[in-house]
Chain A
Amino acid sequence: QSVLTQPPSVSGAPGQRVTISCTGSSSNLGAGYGVHWYQQPPGTAPKLLIYGNGNRPSGVPDRFSGSKSGTSASLAITGLQAEDEADYYCQSYDSSLSGYVFGTGTTVTVL
């Protein structure tokens, strides 16, 4: 079972801004562990999109941004493009489980 909760889906028109929330608890996000985000287009492997709450690996467009506060985090996509259609997952570490935890996943649809 996923420990981090995300909305099942979000959608937006090209050029719009969408946000994806990720809600955890005191043993993961609330304990100060970083949150990371992954993008998984259909039929492909996940790819790191944001690390350490809000840092972008080289090659990731600055349209993608992340933030974290307390037991919640969010991913924002501005200037939505057709190529952004994918599943998005947040991930952190949970001290009570002594392991990595993922969010439930969010499907982004570009209208």
Chain B
Amino acid sequence: EVQLVESGGGLVQPGGSLRLSCEGSGFTFSSYEMNWVRQAPGKGLEWVSYISNSGSTIYYADSVKGRFTISRDNAKNSLYLQMNSLRADETAIYYCARGGGAEPRLLAHWGQGTLVTVSS
């Protein structure tokens, strides 16, 4: 069974930093693209970042470009999101999501999410 478990969320002040982690199990982590998606309270889904299975290709939403960094460690079956210069409107549940393998550009499996609260 595919499992994705996020961690690292919490309360951070505006302008602060936080590093999220996502550990995958039940599949060959190094074979799949990974993504971060966030959802502000009561709002819709917003794609944040993508990383290819090898880590060689990375994309970001314009809203986080230059402030967030996605990375992965395939030896540890782990995905990361380093978030700097956080803003209050980035308070959200952050989900990691695995790609679909043969089917491109979809989010086949999701973790339960980790809550990030940006507030003074």
Using a CB–CB cutoff of 8 Å, the interface residues on chain A facing chain B are 2, 33-34, 36, 38, 40, 45-48, 51-52, 55, 57, 87, 89, 91-93, 97-105
Contact = CB atoms under 8 A, between A and B. Distances in A.
Contacts of A92: 105
B110 A99 contact: no
Interface in B77-112: 95, 100, 103-112
Contacts of A100: 35, 47, 50, 105, 107
B73 interface: no
B106 A98 contact: no
**Interface size bracket, B side:** 20 to 34
Interface of B: 35, 37, 44-47, 50, 59-62, 95, 100, 103-113
A69 B85 CA distance: 41
A45 B107 contact: no
A46 B103 contact: no
Contacts of B59: 98-99
12 contacts: A2-B44, A33-B105, A36-B106, A45-B111, A45-B112, A46-B45, A47-B110, A52-B103, A91-B107, A99-B50, A100-B50, A102-B44
Contact of B47 (A51, A52, A55, A101): A101
Contacts of B111: 45
Given A98-B59, A99-B61, A100-B35, A48 B47 contact: no
Given A97-B62, A102-B46, A102-B47, A45 B113 contact: yes
